[in-house]
Chain A
Amino acid sequence: MRTVEASVITEEISKMCIEANYHLSKDMMQVFGQAKDNETSPLGKKIFDQLCENLKIADTDTIPICQDTGMAVIFVKLGQDVHVTGANLTDAINEGVRKGYTEGFLRKSVVRDPIDRVNTKDNTPAIIHYDIVPGEQIEITMAPKGFGSENMSRVFMLKPADGIEGVKNAVLTAVRDAGPNACPPMVVGVGIGGTFEKCAFLAKKALTREIGSHSPIPYVSELEQELLTKINALGIGPAGLGGSTTAFAVFVETFPTHIAGLPVAVNICCHVNRHVTRVI
C-alpha cells in the first residue's frame, strides 16, 4: 500500500490545467505543420498560418490558446493499492482545478445549475471519470473541453441491422452538421457499443489518443482511415471556409454491447485538442 498526500494531487492538477491551456501536445503541434503543407485551399493555408502563429503566441506570451479554456474533464486511473490521505480525492482534484484556473488566468466557464446559470467563478466542479486499476500509481489525464465543439457532439442509438454503414453515416452526419461551429480542423472521437453513456465516455476518451495512433483492431483501424478520408472530402476546411483539411484525426473505440443495440457516440473536438497526462 502506497500513501499519497491529497495536496500533491491538487498541485499536479493545477499545473496540468495551466499547461494544457497554453501548450498543445507534441503530436498536435506536428499535425498543424503537416496539414498546412497538404491543404489545397489558399485561404485554408492562410488560416493555418494564423493558427500556427496563435500557438506560438500562446507559448511565448503566455496567453491561453483559446479563450474557452473549457470545462475540466479529468480521467483518473487509480491504482487500488494507493491510499490518498489529507482530503478526499474528488475534493483534491476540484481544488487543483480551482487553483489552476485562478492562478493560470484561465476563463471560468462553469455555471452551478444548467437552468439558473450562475457562474461558480472558479471553473469547478470538474467532470471526473474514475477507473480503478491494479497497482500503486495514479495516472491522471486532464483535458479541458471547449463547448463550441462539445455542443456539436451526438449520440445515435442505431439498430444492429444498421451495421458499419450506419456507423459511418452517423459520424459523417455529426461532422457535417458541426461544420464551422466546431472550429475545424477537428479531432473526431467515436465510441461504438456499450450502453448509452458508455459509448459517450469512449468517444470522449478517444480524443486523448495520440495523433498518428491506430486502433489495434484491424477493422476499426480501417474504419478510422476511411472516415478521415470521407470527412476531409466534405470540404468544410479550416474555419469552415472550404478546403481539404476538415479533420486531423478520427479515433474510434469499441466495447461489447447488447444483442438489441448499436450505440454510437461522436464527440467532436476542435483544433485546440488539449490534454496532459501525468503519473503520480
Chain B
Amino acid sequence: MFSSPFLAETGAIAQFAGRFFREGFRPRYEVREFFHQCYVVGYQSLPMVGITGFIMGLVLTLQSQPTMAKFGAEAWVPTMVGLTIIREMGPIITALVFAGKIGSSIGAELGSMRVTEQIDAMEVSGTNPFKYLVVTRVLATTLMLPLLTVLADGIGLYASYVGINTQGTTTLALFINNVLSGLTFAEVLPAFFKTFFFGFAVGLVGCYKGYHATKGTAGVGAAANSAVVVSSLLIFILDLLAVQITGLLGFN
C-alpha cells in the first residue's frame, strides 16, 4: 500500500490546480491585484536572487578554473560555466531561493488570512477569494520566476567574468562570445521554459497550503513551512521530468 496521506495530499493539490484552471480564466479578472502581486513577488525577490546569482557565477568559475587549467583548457571556462548556469544552475537555484522567500510568505499570508476569517470576509463582501487571492498569486509567480531567472543568469555570468579576470584578463566581448558559442537555442529554450513550471509550482503550493491552513497560529507556521518543503521537492521532480522530456525530444 502507498501511504495514503501522501496520496491524498497529491490529489488535493491536483484538485486545487484544476480549480485554478477552471476559475482563473473566467471573468471577473482581478487585473489590479495581479499587477500588484507581480510587483510584490518580483520586487521582494530581487536582492536574494541577485546575490545568489552573483555568488553562483563566481564560485563556479573559481572552482572550475584550476581543474580546467590542469588540462590546459582554461579557454573553455566561460563556455562551460555559461552552459552550467543557463541550463541548470540558474533555473534551479533561483527557483529554490524563490520557493524559500515567496512560497513561505504566500503560505503565511494566506494562512493567517484563513485563520482570522479574512478569507471568509472577502467571500461575504461578494468577492471570490480564490480568484482574488489565489489566481493572482499563482499567475504572478508563474510569470515572475522566469524573469528573475533570466536576471540571475545574467548576474551569474557577469560574476563569472569577474572571476576569470581575477586570474588573467579577458575582454567582456570575448567572454560573451565564448559563452554564446557553447549554447544553442534548443538548449536555452527548454531551460527557460521549465522555469514557468517552477514558478507555477511555488505559487500553487504556497496558496494551497495557506488557503487550507487550520488550527490557529500553529497552522500558519505549518502552512509557511510545508509550502517551502513541498514546493522545493516539486521543483526537483519537475526538473527531473524536464530533463527526461528534453531528452526524448532530442535536445540534450
Chains A and B come from one and the same complex: no
B interface residues with partner A (beta carbon < 8 Å): none
A interface residues with partner B (beta carbon < 8 Å): none
